[in-house]
Structure 1
Amino acid sequence: MQASQLQNRFEKIRSNKAFELFVIGVILFSALLVGAKTYDMPSTVNQITNLLDWFISAFFLVELTIRFLAERRKLDFFKSFWNWFDTIIVLVSLLPLENSDTALIARLVRVFRVLRMISIIPELRILLVSLMKALPQLGYVMLLMFIIFYIYAAIGSTLFEQINPVLWGDITISLLTLFRVMTFEDWTDYRYTFFSKIHPYTFDRLRIFIKVVFNTRPFGMSHDSCLRSQNNRNQTIYV
């Protein structure tokens, strides 16, 4: 009975919203502490940061123990991938590796402690699972983007090779130029280069044409949907 009451207390602590927020705060503070260690600081400040780091690791161990003891069946704790991830991160963080040759590994592992946010916040886990399920569709999106890039790179290489062979000399360079324009890297330099060779109003006419094409399609789709809804209403009336 005493063990059951103790387990109920651990379960209440684990499901407590304030405890969850406190753990999230400690994880964020841990991430800030890792970033602070990248600066050159006095030895006293380094000692304080190392002490805080050990306190954070000890707190994570206590938090992990509470989550383990709150399980009705202790083996169920190890059925979750995120519990295994938390356990490995916490145990490696507790190893005294600061003055050894593997100190770099210990620091890198402590950087990954911020990923414990995923195991603490259910919404982040749902988002991650959704992203993993969307990876196959994302591959088709990337394939479609490559096809579009390839077409416009071929067109650009054909039309603009004589104007600027450095940017449009072949299909490979044209692909790189389009990627740089898409990421806004020096795209204004490309613009000024072509404005000195062609009439500037050419791009305005092209933009108007593109707007007309893309605005006509939604109008046609909405018109078709209106006709379908009208036909459905007529069928409903006559039936």
Structure 2
Amino acid sequence: MYERFQHQLQRLKNNRIFELFVVSVIIISALEIGAKTYDLPGWAALITQYLDVFITLFFLFEITIRFLAEPNKKGFFRSGWNVFDTLVVVISLIPVQDSEMALLARLVRVFRVLRMVSVIPELRVLINSLIKALPQLGYVVLLMFIIFYIYAAIGSYLFKDINPVLWGNIAISMLTLFRVMTFEDWTDIQYETMDVYPMSWMYYMSFIFFTAFAFLNMVIGIVVNVMEEEHTRARQEDAETREPTLGELQAQLNDVQRMLKTLTDNQSNDRESLK
């Protein structure tokens, strides 16, 4: 009895219409949060309060379905996304009005928008790819910091007297170089120093080559590579866990029938050869 009920919950959880309804509720939740940042008339504020109650109860209903549909209850909380969703739902149950934890409850309601990531598999793949790429990105960021530090020290020594606001010390120089790397009016900084040091353009060109071109392309390459691996792994897991479609079952049945026919023909040939 319970297994049949659990199977029905699994079908509901994997139902495409139910998934789209969950996404719609998350979007409505995001709009409701944004609407509360405005000065609303009384009737609109009342509607947002009722919406908030409905969204909170619906998320509680949805996470309960996902928990009951999970065959391994302990394994449910081994997923970071399930833990995140559960925390958001539980903290959202804190009353917003007349509560010492009202601010925390309001802030957590903002994070309900992130549930879009846990609901849509493609977004989960993107986030997982970024997280798994962090160890490899760490070495690139470290090397970029070394380049920043060297160029900031040189810039502070050479250009401090020209413009102490931009090159006063190594920390300010690093912020200035970040502005150069992002191409935010960097030519104004370059022309200002070229009035005193005409060859200072080499300083900026070499820095831009190392950071904006070389290192940023390395970061993009690492993320894309990890993302391809995550997509491949996600497709393999989906193929292992999802139920076969009617067409796939029919194709498998046809293959079995062909194999049986071939085996029967071979046996008939063997009998004739023995005769």
TM-score, normalisation: structure 2: 0.64
Please report the RMSD computed on the Cα atoms of aligned residues, expressed in angstroms.
3.1
Gap change, CA 1:162 and 1:66, over 3 Å in 2: closer
Match of 1:46 in 2: 45
Match of 1:105 in 2: 104
Match of 2:260 in 1: none
Letter in 1 for 2:192: T
Moved over 4 A (4+): 195-199, 201-204
Contact 2:190/2:200 (8 A) holds in 1: no
Gap change, CA 1:195 and 1:10, over 3 Å in 2: same
Match of 1:218 in 2: none
Match of 1:80 in 2: 79
Letter in 2 for 1:138: L
Gap change, CA 1:38 and 1:195, over 3 Å in 2: same
Deviation at 1:49, TM superposition (A): 0.5
Gap change, CA 1:62 and 1:152, over 3 Å in 2: same
Q: Distance in 2 between matches of 1:117 and 1:51?
A: 21
Gap change, CA 1:176 and 1:65, over 3 Å in 2: closer
Letter in 2 for 1:19: F
Match of 2:6 in 1: 7
Deviation at 1:157, TM superposition (A): 3.3
Instruction: List alignment gaps of at least 5 residues for structure 2.
Output: 214-275
Q: Distance in 1 between matches of 2:91 and 2:106?
A: 10
TM-score, normalisation: structure 1: 0.72
Residues 106-147 of structure 1: CA distance to partner in whole angstroms, max 9, x if unpaired? 111111112222322233333333322222222211211122
Q: 3-state DSSP class of the match of 1:134?
A: helix
Between 168-177 and 48-57, report the one with greater CA deviation: 168-177
Q: Distance in 2 between matches of 1:96 and 1:135?
A: 37
Paired positions, count:
208
Contact 2:148/2:174 (8 A) holds in 1: yes
Paired-residue identity, %: 61
Q: Distance in 1 between matches of 2:97 and 2:43?
A: 16
Q: Distance in 1 between matches of 2:14 and 2:143?
A: 45
Q: Distance in 1 between matches of 2:149 and 2:80?
A: 41
Within-5 A mapping of 1:1-239: 1=1, 3-194=2-193, 196-197=195-196, 203=201
Q: Distance in 2 between matches of 1:169 and 1:202?
A: 17
Q: Distance in 1 between matches of 2:47 and 2:63?
A: 24
Contact 2:26/2:112 (8 A) holds in 1: yes
Contact 2:12/2:18 (8 A) holds in 1: yes
Match of 2:256 in 1: none
Residues 65-115 of structure 1: CA distance to partner in whole angstroms, max 9, x if unpaired? 221222234444334333232222212212323222321111111111122
Contact 2:94/2:102 (8 A) holds in 1: no
Instruction: List alignment gaps of at least 5 residues for structure 1.
Output: 215-239
Contact 2:32/2:48 (8 A) holds in 1: yes
Q: Distance in 2 between matches of 1:98 and 1:33?
A: 17
Contact 1:98/1:106 (8 A) holds in 2: no
Residues 23-52 of structure 1: CA distance to partner in whole angstroms, max 9, x if unpaired? 112112212211211111112211110111
